[in-house]
């Protein structure tokens, strides 16, 4: 495979200067089984790209650690998921941390509740993982937690955001005491307006943890709708359904250009807007997502001062 160029001499053909700036330092998510489909990530992602490794229920920790080591060896910053509800107890959590550090040099993690309804053991949410003290003890430099621009029915079954906001206020206080850098990594969305409103509402509530906005990478429309339903993406799902009603667009792959351009323009006009990075879910494949990002000016390199 030919190497893709990571820097543009001019504004990207597929986007704008604002979009190019917005994409700098983007991250991307893989799973062990999707990473296996790519022989070498280096032709696709710039050195130092943050690569999240999603831990799906049933995936052995050995597979997770092996993927983390492979990704780290290829020159990337590895951020594995720690889903609270599939971690049996503190000893298991300590073992996972030790394996990731010892075999892959991991210094960062995404802590989240996880997709299972009933906890395997002692943990049910990311706050309990943070309270364990094990990540601070291990010297983790960066800890991300989940954000939900469209709410979370798992946390707030009524559809309100009361419990979600209560949890975010707790995480804000934790952020003020930990030595680790924190961020909110969100579920993927398709509509910029509600995202802007949500980020502004957090700022008004005194929650200033930087937001890494989740974005679905290019994919077939049917694929996106299936993943959106499975992942509980609600409000902005109507954007996909509306697109599905347009026969001229039904067979065309979805691309996040419009969604990201709108956020990028808003960020350019409002520099204090608290989205700091883009995080891609490559639902149409890692290669397809990386190609789109590069064509739109994203080289995935991060500035020296990162939030």
Give the closest residue to 231 by CA, choosing from 129, 120, 114, 145: 114
State the architecture of 17-295 in CATH terms.
Alpha-Beta Barrel (3.20)
As a whole-number percent, the residues of the chain with pLDDT over 90 amount to 71
The 3-state secondary structure of 84-109, one letter per residue: HHHCCCHHHHHHHHHHHHHHHCCCEE
Residues 163-182: tens digit of each pLDDT:
889 999 999 999 999 999 99
Residues 194-213: tens digit of each pLDDT:
999 999 999 999 999 999 99
CB contact at 8 A, 80 and 55 = yes
- Banded pLDDT at 14 (limits 50, 70, 90): very low
- The arithmetic mean of pLDDT across residues 58-81, rounded, is 98
The pLDDT mean for the chain works out to 86
Q: How far is CA 98 from CA 2, 94, 223, in A?
A: 37, 6, 36
Q: Which residues of 39-76 are buried (b: 16+ CB within 10 A; e: fewer)?
A: eebbebbbeebbbbbbbeeebebebbbebbbbbbebeb
pLDDT given for residue 224 in this prediction:
73
Q: What is the pTM of this model?
A: 0.87
Residues 39-61: tens digit of each pLDDT:
999 999 999 999 999 999 999 99
pLDDT at 2 over 50: no
Residues 118-141: tens digit of each pLDDT:
999 999 999 999 999 999 999 999
CB contact at 8 A, 216 and 227 = yes
pLDDT given for residue 164 in this prediction:
87
- Banded pLDDT at 189 (limits 50, 70, 90): confident
Rounded CA gap, 129 and 133, in Å? Answer: 8
Find where tokens 């409002």 sit.
270
pLDDT at 11 over 70: no
Other beta carbons less than 10 A from residue 7's beta carbon: 9
Rounded CA gap, 77 and 79, in Å? Answer: 7
Give the closest residue to 18 by CA, choosing from 260, 294, 274, 305: 260
Query: Which is more confident, 192 or 7?
Result: 192
- Weakest-pLDDT range from 6-15, 29-38, 66-75, 106-115: 6-15
Give the closest residue to 293 by CA, choosing from 2, 3, 27: 27
- Banded pLDDT at 236 (limits 50, 70, 90): low
pLDDT given for residue 233 in this prediction:
54
Positive or negative, the CA dihedral 267, 5, 75, 287 is positive
Find where tokens 């298991």 sit.
92
CB contact at 8 A, 223 and 286 = no
pLDDT at 117 over 70: yes
CB contact at 8 A, 208 and 172 = yes
- Banded pLDDT at 225 (limits 50, 70, 90): low
Count CA within 13 A, CB hemisphere, residue 192: 14
CB contact at 8 A, 284 and 34 = no
- Banded pLDDT at 144 (limits 50, 70, 90): very high
pLDDT given for residue 161 in this prediction:
72
**Helices 61-73 and 90-104: angle between axes, nearest 10 degrees:** 30
């Amino acid at each position: 495979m030919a190497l893709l160029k990571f820097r543009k001499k001019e504004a990207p053909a597929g986007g704008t200067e604002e979009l190019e700036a917005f994409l700098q330092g983007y991250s991307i998510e893989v799973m062990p089984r999707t990473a296996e489909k790519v022989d070498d990530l280096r032709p696709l992602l710039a050195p130092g790209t943050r690569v999240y490794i999603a831990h799906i229920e049933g995936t052995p920790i050995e597979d997770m650690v092996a993927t983390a080591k492979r990704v780290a060896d290829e020159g990337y910053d590895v951020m594995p998921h720690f889903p609270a509800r599939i971690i049996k107890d503190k000893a298991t959590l300590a073992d996972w941390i030790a394996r990731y550090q010892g075999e892959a040099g991991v210094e960062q993690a995404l802590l989240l509740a996880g997709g299972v309804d009933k906890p395997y053991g002692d943990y049910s949410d990311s706050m309990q993982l943070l309270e364990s003290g094990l990540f601070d003890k291990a010297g983790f430099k960066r800890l991300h937690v989940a954000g939900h621009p469209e709410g979370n029915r798992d946390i707030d079954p009524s559809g309100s955001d009361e419990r979600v906001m209560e949890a975010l206020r707790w995480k804000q206080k934790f952020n003020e005491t930990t030595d680790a850098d924190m961020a909110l990594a969100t579920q993927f969305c398709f509509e910029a307006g509600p995202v802007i409103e949500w980020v502004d509402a957090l700022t008004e509530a005194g929650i200033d943890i930087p937001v890494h906005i989740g974005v679905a990478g290019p994919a077939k429309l049917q694929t996106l709708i299936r993943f959106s339903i499975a992942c509980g993406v609600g409000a902005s799902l109507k954007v996909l359904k509306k697109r599905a009603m347009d026969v001229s667009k039904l067979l065309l792959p979805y691309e996040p250009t419009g969604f990201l351009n709108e956020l990028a323009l808003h960020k350019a006009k409002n520099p204090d807007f608290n989205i700091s990075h883009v995080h891609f879910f490559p639902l149409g494949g890692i290669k397809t997502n990386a190609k789109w990002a590069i064509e739109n000016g994203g080289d995935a390199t991060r500035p020296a001062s990162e939030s």
